[in-house]
Amino acid sequence: MSKLLVGYACVSTEEKDLTAQRDALAALGVEPDRVYVNFDFTGKNKNLTGLREALAAYRARDTFVVTKLDRLARSVRGAHTIAEDLARRKSNSTSVVRSMPRRPLGKLLFNLLAMIAVSEADLISMPTREGMEVGKAKGRLRESSQNSA
């Protein structure tokens, strides 16, 4: 059985463009039909069909490819769970950053990078959350739990 590259790309909404991720995956050698995609990749969305399909397509000794660690998971726990699953299946897992860890120091680096990716995502979304709070306080945004009558 030959080794394959399995790519995964995701964006937070369908309006966002996947071109940069698809191009990066192609540059790494991932065939277009081996790229699995998720839209609505947010911390609240648990229906990650594209990720499940990518993980299902992956076989031992394949290489699982993402463009950035924050594209793999929205939490350190999620990234760690996926990494452990791939390691159990004898993965040659990789990302653009570095190879997925197998040794203690590599695992430490992976967890640090995952924490940085999660923190970066939180920092990016913070102004949006603050703006929404201001809008609510000024009566410009309704609470999502309120019914429109």
Structure token digits, residue 70: 């924050």
Contact criterion met (CB below 8 Å) for 1 and 36: no
Q: Which of 39, 55, 58, 35 is nearest to 47 (CA)?
A: 39
Compute the distance between CA of residue 105 and CA of residue 120 in angstroms, rounded to an integer. 22
CA angle 14, 57, 18 (to 5 degrees): 25
Residue type, 96: V
Report how far residue 83's alpha carbon sits from residue 64's, in angstroms, rounded to the nearest whole number.
10
> Catalytic one among 12, 95, 99, 144?
12
Q: Is 12 tagged catalytic?
A: yes
Q: Which residues are catalytic?
A: 12
